[in-house]
Structure 1
Amino acid sequence: MPDTTTSDITIRAIAAADTYELRHQVLWPGEPVAYIKLGNDEAGLHFGAFRNGKLVSVISLFIDGSVARFRKFATRPDCQGQGIGSQLLRHVINEARRHGARRLWCDARAVNEAFYRAFKLEPEGNRLYRGTEPYILMARDL
């Protein structure tokens, strides 16, 4: 798989363990690091967006037949709102297609619903909670 480079951002495959620091820092800083690790991390495809050689955004993709799910999408707070996460998500959508997925979904934090709608993901079902954090399943056909 080739790297994707746009302006000063390079996107490439990384190891699961390379996602842990950002996952922890951005998603669940109040929990132990073990909380952000997934039991099936080794089965996933993990991608990082690098700015000037520094990892600033991560996402993990899990493909099961024709269905793909992305998880643990995290962008460094000082890099949010700059289009880096959007570049990374576009890359993952293309990777899911490349691996034969015909549907893509995620459990999105409800606060980020508008962001995911911009990528044609739509809410499905009711909100769920992880602790006090509301989530909603969002999905789209590829």
Structure 2
Amino acid sequence: MPELLHIQPIAPEATYALRHQVLWPDKPLDYVKIAEDAAGHHFGALRAGEVVAVISLFVTGPEARFRKFATRPDCQRQGIGSELLKHVFAEAQRLGAKHIWCDARQDSAAFYARFGMQPEGEIFYKGPVAYVRMACTL
């Protein structure tokens, strides 16, 4: 794990600023909030007490989905997101999920493939951004 990194549960509201900054900076803040946030499990990767990456996990029976995975730009490519994703996979398993998926930005698909996730279905778009569903068995 990257030096002095701590992963812990956080409130949904604690994810919003980073979701907005990294994923949709050109949209209003409300754009990064999702109706299911209250039912999710939200995790933050903290370094020196500051949230530098966030992810939200939603588990329904054997199915798990993670959403709004964002790492602060100056903290990317340091292993922080990898540790956070491993944590979420383990948490999904602990909660009884057998399968996990996400709608991944197409330019991030290779990152998810390193964790055993494979593309499912066709490329689709959210605004101008190309996405592909990535999934794997836990």
| TM-score of Structure 1 vs Structure 2, range by shorter chain | over 0.9
TM-score when normalising by structure 2: 0.98
TM-score when normalising by structure 1: 0.96
**Matched-pair contact (CA < 8 Å) for 2:22–2:71:** yes
1:135 aligned residue: 131
Long gaps (5+) in structure 2: none
Which of 70, 90, 95 is the matching residue for 2:91?
95
Which of 112, 117, 123 is the matching residue for 1:116?
112
Kindly report which structure 2 residues correspond to 1:41-120, keeping only aligned pairs within 5 A, or say none: 41-120=37-116
| Separation (CA, whole Å) in 1 of partners of 2:2 and 2:104 | 25
Q: SS in structure 1 opposite 2:77?
A: coil
| Separation (CA, whole Å) in 2 of partners of 1:34 and 1:94 | 29
Structure 1: 4+ residue segments shifted above 3 A: none
Query: Which amino acid in structure 1 is aligned with residue 130 of structure 2?
Result: P
Q: Deviations 1:25-52 (Å, cap 9, x if unpaired)?
A: 0000000000000011000000000011
Q: SS in structure 1 opposite 2:35?
A: coil
Q: Deviations 1:75-98 (Å, cap 9, x if unpaired)?
A: 000000000000000000000000
Long gaps (5+) in structure 1: none
| Separation (CA, whole Å) in 2 of partners of 1:126 and 1:56 | 31
Percent identical residues: 56
Query: Which amino acid in structure 2 is aligned with residue 74 of structure 1?
Result: A
| Separation (CA, whole Å) in 1 of partners of 2:132 and 2:17 | 24
Q: Deviations 1:35-75 (Å, cap 9, x if unpaired)?
A: 00001100000000001111000000000110000000000
Q: Deviations 1:86-139 (Å, cap 9, x if unpaired)?
A: 000000000000000000000000000110000000000001100010000000
| Separation (CA, whole Å) in 2 of partners of 1:6 and 1:83 | 6
| Separation (CA, whole Å) in 1 of partners of 2:2 and 2:111 | 20
